Structure formats: C-alpha cells, structure tokens
C-alpha cells in the first residue's frame, strides 16, 4: 500500500537509467502488488480496515504511534481480525527512550556495532556497500512473521512482531558484548581478516589476481600444507593448532602469499579445489553472470521489463523442495493493482473507486 501522491520513496532510489527507470525498484518490489491509499484520511483508514479483515500479515514501517494516531493500532485491528500478525519495522523498536526517533538503516548499522568493526584499522569506519541494516531488519521481520503464523496455528491468535534495525544488526555481532565486559577486549577494524583466524585471507597470484583462501580449520590447514608442499608445517608447534596459527597470523599470511605468488589464479584454484581447501575469487556482477554454477542453479533469473526488455536479478533464496518459490513479476507501477484489489478482493464498484481517486484517497 503506497501513498497516492508519489508512492514508495524507493521507486526513485538506487541506480537510475536515462529512461527514468530505477534498477532497484523492480527487485525490491518483485512479486508485489501495488495499491494506493491515503491513510491520513478517514476513508483511507476505512479501506485499510477492510483489507485487514482478510489479511494474515500486515507489515508497516512508520514511526511508533503513527498507526495508533490513525485509529489503526493493533488493539483495534485485532478486534477486526484476531488472527492478524502485525509486523512493525523501525529503527529502534516500539518501546524504549529512542523509539520515537527517526531511524535509517545506516544509523542502525552504527548503533548495532557493525560499522565500528568494518574497514581498515587506520581509517574511519566504513559501510559494507549495501543497505545491510535495512535488509537484516526485513529478514528478521520475515522470520518473526513465520514464527507468529506458526504460533497462531496453536493459539488461534495473532500478535505483534517488533523488528528494530539496530537489534537486527546487533544479532550478527557474535561475541562482541562479552568480549568487552568479561575480557576487556574491544573489537576493532581489522580489514580483510578476523583476528585469531588463520590462514583466512585474500592472497595474490602470479598473474595479478586475488584468491580468497579459508584454511583455518586444523584438517583443512593440513590439506593446504600438502598442496603447498609444506607437510612439515602440520606438526610445527608454531602452526599446529588453531590457537597457534591465530597468534602468528601475519607471518602465516606472508608464508601463504609467498606460495600463491608462484601460481596463476586458475592453476591455484584448481589445486586448492582438488585438495578440498575452500577457496574462490572475489566475484563482481560480471563474474556471477558468466559462472557455470550460477547458471546451473539458476541463481540469476531474467524477466521482461516493459521499458528495458530483459531484466536480470537474483533468484529466490532459500530453496524449498516441495513448495519452491519463483520470481513471477517485477516491481509494479504505482497503483497498478487498485482495480484488482479494491474491485476484485473488496468488491468496490468502479464508481466508488473513481470517487476515491478524485478525492486523492487512492
């Protein structure tokens, strides 16, 4: 449901082509239907109540209190539909002293801890290059919705799912909190490595390539030693255990780099794969489009865009064997499904829909 005066701001975000087409919206809104509704007006609120009566899940990302101000809080909506699951995505959650603050994904990434540990140690904190906080909050919101629907099977009642961006980021932060409180150790930016995990880094090749090798597990390190022709390292006290390798991370990286520089990337990868050592290139979009594994698993699918023609995008993940998902449609035009939803689902006649449109309700 979008504001009829302009729709979701994401329609204009991301890369834009000269045709005025966003390359983000077709992916972000794929498989969705677009209806417009002005929830600031009583008639728009009435439309929402009619839709809620037939809904399983309602997702909203207004500041806390906004739905309540419109008479659309969960207490009211659950009287219309006791089984309704209301998913609320905000920067800081529905409660607490910061709950009414405006919150974007970038702020949640900073507050949740991931910004502080991302980047090189001698530079300011970096971002990951994608809207990580927003995506994490959405993922946890979806997980919460599924959990609430499963609970409804037992109880017959819906509930509220409260997904805060900063908490979704915090959930990823492993042992960052007890490391500080119990060990007095504050995680810092460490670039391309995790402290104490070695060898696991990006290594140079003879032909100027870069190959990521992850051989920090004891058994995998033994395999790497065999490929390198350095079986002696397996029992060397300096490298024999995970702890010992972690303590000598830089010198071990220099040792591995000295070997990888003698081989071209393709030859290096072939040897590592054959030996069972996890390794790979750092892919760009071009690499993904050309890779036979991506092609075999249809990791990238193509739909037809009415202005751009063939439009490639990532496929559905994860994959279910019995009820597999699929990308059926690209992000819709604003209000594209007003007639289908309001006319078909709610049974509202064409004359009423035209009156709503003339008043800016839809």
Whose tokens are 């150790």? That residue is 185
Is 134 an active-site residue? yes
The one catalytic residue among 43, 56, 122, 134: 134
Q: Are 301 and 327 in contact (CB under 8 A)?
A: yes
For the beta sheet containing 57-60, the strands, ordered from the edge strand earlier in sequence to the opposite edge, are 57-60, 85-90, 160-164
For the chain, the straight-line distance linking the first and the last C-alpha, in angstroms and rounded, comes to 10
Helix axis angle, 249-260 to 218-228, nearest 10°:
40
Phi-psi region of 189 (alpha: psi -120 to 50; beta: other; left: phi over 0): beta
Which residues carry out catalysis?
134
């Amino acid at each position: 449901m979008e504001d009829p005066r302009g729709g979701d701001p994401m329609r204009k975000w991301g890369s834009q082509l000269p045709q005025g087409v966003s390359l983000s919206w077709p992916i972000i809104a794929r498989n969705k239907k677009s209806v417009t509704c002005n929830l600031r007006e009583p008639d728009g609120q009435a439309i929402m109540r009619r839709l809620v009566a037939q809904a399983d899940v309602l997702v909203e990302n207004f500041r806390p209190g906004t739905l309540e101000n419109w008479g659309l809080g969960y207490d009211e909506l659950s009287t219309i539909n006791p089984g309704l699951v209301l998913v609320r995505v905000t920067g800081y959650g529905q409660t607490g002293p910061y709950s009414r603050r405006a919150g974007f994904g970038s702020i949640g990434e900073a507050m949740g801890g991931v910004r502080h540990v991302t980047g090189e140690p001698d530079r300011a904190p970096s971002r990951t290059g994608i809207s990580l906080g927003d995506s994490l909050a959405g993922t946890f919101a979806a997980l919460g919705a599924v959990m609430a629907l499963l609970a409804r099977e037992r109880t017959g009642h819906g509930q509220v799912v409260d997904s805060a961006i900063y908490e979704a980021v915090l959930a990823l932060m492993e042992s960052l909190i007890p490391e500080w409180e119990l060990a007095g150790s504050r995680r810092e930016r460490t670039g391309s490595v995790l402290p104490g995990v070695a060898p696991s880094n990006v290594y140079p090749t003879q032909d100027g390539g870069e190959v990521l090798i992850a051989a920090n597990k004891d058994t995998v390190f033994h395999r790497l030693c065999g490929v390198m022709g350095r079986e002696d390292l397996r029992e060397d006290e300096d490298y024999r255990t995970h702890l010992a390798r972690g303590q000598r991370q830089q010198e071990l990286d220099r040792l591995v780099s000295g070997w990888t520089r003698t081989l071209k990337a393709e030859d290096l990868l072939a040897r590592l794969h054959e030996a069972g050592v996890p390794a790979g290139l750092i892919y760009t979009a071009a690499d993904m489009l050309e890779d036979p594994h991506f092609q075999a698993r249809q990791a990238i699918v193509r739909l037809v865009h009415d202005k751009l023609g063939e439009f490639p995008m990532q496929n559905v993940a994860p994959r279910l064997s019995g009820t597999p998902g699929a990308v059926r449609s690209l992000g819709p035009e604003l209000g594209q499904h007003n007639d289908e939803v309001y006319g078909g689902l709610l049974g509202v006649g064409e004359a009423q829909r035209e009156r709503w449109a003339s008043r800016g309700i839809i």
